[in-house]
Amino acid sequence: MTPPGAALAADWQLWLIENLLNGAPREAVVEALVGAGLAPTLAAEQVEAVTGSDAFGRLAGAMDQAHWMASSLRLRRRLAGPPTLPRVEAVSTETLRDDFHARNRPLVLTRLDPRPAALDRWGFDALAARIGDVPVAVNTRRQDARSPAHIEQHAEEVSFGAFLERARTTPGDDAYLVSKNGLLANPAFAALFEDLQPLPAFLDPGVFPKGVSLWIGPAGTVTPLHFDTHDVLLVQVVGRKRLRLLPPDHPGLYAHMDGYHCRYDVEHPELEARAGVSAADALDVVLSPGEALFLPVGWWHDVRALDPSVTLTFLNFRWFNHFHDHRPRSR
């Protein structure tokens, strides 16, 4: 920021308003302005002008309500105790809907019943042999993204077989076939649809294959901390993935949103310093091939591939599953 002169520059005006709204003492704000080069009298006048305005009064009232709500959420979370992540072999539609979807609780399924054929047919070599010549768009230059929200911005076209060989042999986070690449929307991959059968009873075949996405990448891919606006069933087909989950009632995360992402990595010390959340607060799970995670709407999650990996995600549950209107706005 540029030091203020006779009048506050725009960046200093924003700094002044933000700090006062967040409860900084007026004296401390005046002192900071003086330290940056503003005359003491003018610094005091600027603070008085802001705090005495009707607009600031309304904003301060809204901030008080937001802080009260955040405090209530923290109290509720503390009284409820830490969230849990149960592991079960199988689950009925009614149990998944009533005990986990309706209560916004995650669940690990150690097996799917019935078991989709893809879990036994989709090895790297088998996929390459079936459709290796098909060109696909692959998410690349992920390390160059200016923020987590832009990590899927760049794509390059290669043959599916060449990408599979790279994913199998070259660890890293710079080439990843993600949901946005729309692999299963490609007619050349229609032959794979039959391998997604039979579906578990809690998934609706009436909208199939819409709502199903395929993710393929090497060991080392990272999907940074973010949330989704729907329930997700994440099925691990090949390799292992580690997920760190944080419930939606961590209010500090929403102050640092960038789209659906948090600006800070789950392992970054700034996450705790700025959002009051650390990796120690997360539920940690490693999914092995054949296992699945039911991830409720709104849960923050960080996903990292420990091995060359093939993953399916399903959204086609037998209940309403579109909550886009409830997404909080980024600051």
Domain extents for the chain?
10-78, 84-326
How do residues 85-123 score in pLDDT, each as one tens digit? 999 998 999 999 999 999 999 999 999 999 999 999 999
Work out the pLDDT band at 328, boundaries 50, 70, 90. low
Contact between 149 and 258 (Cβ < 8 Å): yes
Beta 107-109 vs 87-88: how paired, if at all?
A: parallel
Q: Which tokens go with 213?
A: 């996405």
Spatial CA neighbour of 214 closest among 330, 134, 98, 136? 136
Instruction: Report the run of H or E that residue 245 belongs to, with start and end.
Output: strand 241-246
Instruction: Look at residue 121 in the predicted model and tell me its pLDDT.
Output: 95
Other CB atoms closer than 10 Å to residue 45's CB: what's the count?
13
Instruction: Look at residue 245 in the predicted model and tell me its pLDDT.
Output: 96
Work out the pLDDT band at 134, boundaries 50, 70, 90. very high
Q: What is the DSSP string of 94-141?
A: HHIIIIIITTT--EEESS-SSPPTHHHH--HHHHHHHHTTSEEEEEE-
Instruction: Look at residue 326 in the predicted model and tell me its pLDDT.
Output: 66
CA distance 18 to 24: 9
CA distance 168 to 283: 28
CA distance 295 to 230: 9
Out of 28-42, 86-100, 138-152, 199-213, give the one with best mean pLDDT: 86-100
Q: Which tokens go with 254?
A: 């929403």
The residues pairing with 87 across neighbouring beta strands, listed in sequence order, are 108
Contact between 231 and 283 (Cβ < 8 Å): no
Fold of 84-326: Jelly Rolls (2.60.120)
CA distance 160 to 303: 23
Average pLDDT over residues 14-25: 86
Instruction: Look at residue 187 in the predicted model and tell me its pLDDT.
Output: 87
Mean pLDDT (the chain, rounded): 88
pTM for the structure as a whole: 0.81
Q: Which tokens go with 73?
A: 């959420």
- 224: phi then psi, degrees, rounded to nearest 5: -65, 170
CA distance 62 to 52: 16
Beta-carbon contacts of residue 63 (< 8 Å; ≥ 6 apart):
21, 22
CA distance 308 to 124: 9
Whose structure tokens read 């580690």? Answer: 242
